[in-house]
Structure 1
Amino acid sequence: MENKINKKNLAEFLSIPLIEATKIEMAILYLLGEANEKSKKIYKTIIYKFISFLELRATQKYANHFFMMDFVAWEWGSVPYSFMKYVDEYNNTFLYFDYKKTLDNKIIFSLKNNNDYKKYFNWDYFSEIDKKILIEITDFILEDNKTVKELSNIIHEKSRSWQFFWDKRKTKKQNKMNFYLDIKFDNEDEEEKKEIINFYEESCYKNDKY
């Protein structure tokens, strides 16, 4: 049954500015639009991988975050935890796309009324670096019809941070993580590295509800 009391928009649920929530939706809208043109179905686990790869790439490229999003380390890779809660627990809605359960009880994301996403998508929510990352990761997710397992294996291989936080987990249900171990330094001295890592970790989105 739909939970009427807890139903919120994404900005309210995550306690983030509306512009930031819209950026999240715009990125997912872009993925869904490109997937639709390739007749590819996008399940929720692909969305979670997509968000994780955006964050990983942003960390690697400029030691910063792509979204205001929190992550946990699970066996199959990093998961955007509060976003997952929004999808799984409260049956909330998104402005630019839909998600629903299939007959086999999986959750699939789709464009609203199979619309032309380019009418609604707006690049203004993204910096120039963001745009390059969004295009790169979208192409990466969709190329060669990668499965969730393949994407998980790539995260395992590419992200030192996931391995570190998964190894030190206290429970398999939740283990907060960030991607600081994946920052690529360019000959900075140790003090500069510490400052960059501290800034990155201090600027991580923090949601104490979960």
Structure 2
Amino acid sequence: MSTIAPATPAPSRRAARRLLTAARILLGLAVVALGILFLVVEYSARLLEAQVGAWLVDTLFATNALPSLSAGTPAVVFGVHDTFLALRITIECSIALYAGSIVIFGGLLMMLPRLRTVRVVVATALGAGLMILLNQVRIVGLAWVLSEYGRDGFEWAHSLGGSFLMTAGLVVSLGVFLGIVPRRRPRRRLRATRKTVR
């Protein structure tokens, strides 16, 4: 004697969409938390920036460049023209503020259902990476200006040149988001049968 067991119904499209939406929101929240973490650990980020900056300065134009602390602030100490100088990396110059903000922005975008997660991740990585690179260029450039033109030249380069460079970087990062992210998910087109009247 044979029996027929009831088949387990397949999950509906609504349930699948809800599950996908929940996953996107959780992923977005995780990325936002990562961006906030960048802001919280900005001091450690400045210590790392000082190490990388010291290596670049020593490689490019100075001698005996070392990461150090100046009044508790991470700094790059280097020698030029028989003089030792210290370039302090304050919280306003920390890359954590820029990269963390971009990561938070990317996490918020990930929660939007019409945007592709992969595109948002790529744009976030490119934007944050660009700002990290530009900030290292700024640190090395300011160290060179300080060594060649003294404090007056440094103040001018720091207030105008550095600010312009990072502002331009933010604009380019925004352009990266606008160029990559806004393409929406393709909607499934239902094939409609056309009735022909003969």
Scaled by the length of structure 2, what TM-score is found?
Answer: 0.30
Give the greater-gyration-radius structure (CA): 2
Scaled by the length of structure 1, what TM-score is found?
Answer: 0.29
Higher helix residue share: 2
**Structure with higher RCO (Cα < 8 A, 6+ apart):** 1
